[in-house]
Amino acid sequence: MDNDLDAMEDATQPLIERLLTSFMREMVDQYEAEDMVGLPTDARQRTVDMLRKTYGISISMGGKPMIDGLKDCFPHIETKQDEDDLFQQLINEYIERFGAQKVLQILETTRKQVMGVIREGQREGLGVEEIARLLREAVPEFSRVRSRVIARTETHGSSQYAQYRTAQQSTRPLVKQWNSIEDARTRTIIMDDTYDHRVIDEQRVALEQPFMVPTIFGTKEPLMYPGDPAGTAGNIINCRCAMTFRRADRD
């Protein structure tokens, strides 16, 4: 399970890192030339294009094992073209439902990182050229660290969405099970995390019911799948949990 997430992250992280690096370098060039800074005018579309490629990888890698593992539930998905058509539909859906929010988060964080360096330099009395030099030195690390977080979060959420939506195409009723990674990084309120993913390991619910994730406040947050973008950031960012499915008549 964790290996699958690592493979998706490794496949998509370079796409994200290149985009973030490009944005930041263009912003630094503008700052040095004009003593002002803003995101590139085409930043939104470039981010959407990057996310579309990212989701193309993760949704296919998430959905295909579902079909291969439960072939008797998907007799209508017979060919690779049938699979490709389904996955393209899911990519479009995911972009439509969550794309605007994701683009805003990525661009706003990028802007804040650049502006943070500029403001700190200004507080120290540095000039434009000195601040621009500091920014150029910071760009590789900024891009590397953030692209890893984005890759993990976006591939995880979209691949789990693909599994959930693929399961909805089943001709037989299915149940879903939450599976947690059993190591020290897994969220648990025992270690003062806000959400507890360890305690719901192997929780099984009907396909259309949410998993109820306990919180440190004694409440529960509903997630339709691990990494569900409808959840709060602390419940989904860097989550590594996953789902498995089985026929309801064999549960």
**Of 21, 26, 84, 25, which Cα lies nearest the Cα of 50?**
21
pLDDT band at 238 (very low <50, low <70, confident <90, very high): confident
Is the model's pLDDT at 1 over the cut of 70? no
Integer Cα distance of 85 and 132 in angstroms: 46
Mean pLDDT (the chain) is 94
Is the model's pLDDT at 160 over the cut of 60? yes
pTM of the shown model: 0.90
For the segment 89-113, the average pLDDT, to the nearest whole number, is 96
| Share above pLDDT 70 across residues of the chain, in percent, rounded to a whole number | 98
Q: pLDDT value at position 4?
A: 85
**Of 50, 51, 94, 49, which Cα lies nearest the Cα of 228?**
94
Is the model's pLDDT at 111 over the cut of 80? yes
For the segment 121-148, the average pLDDT, to the nearest whole number, is 96
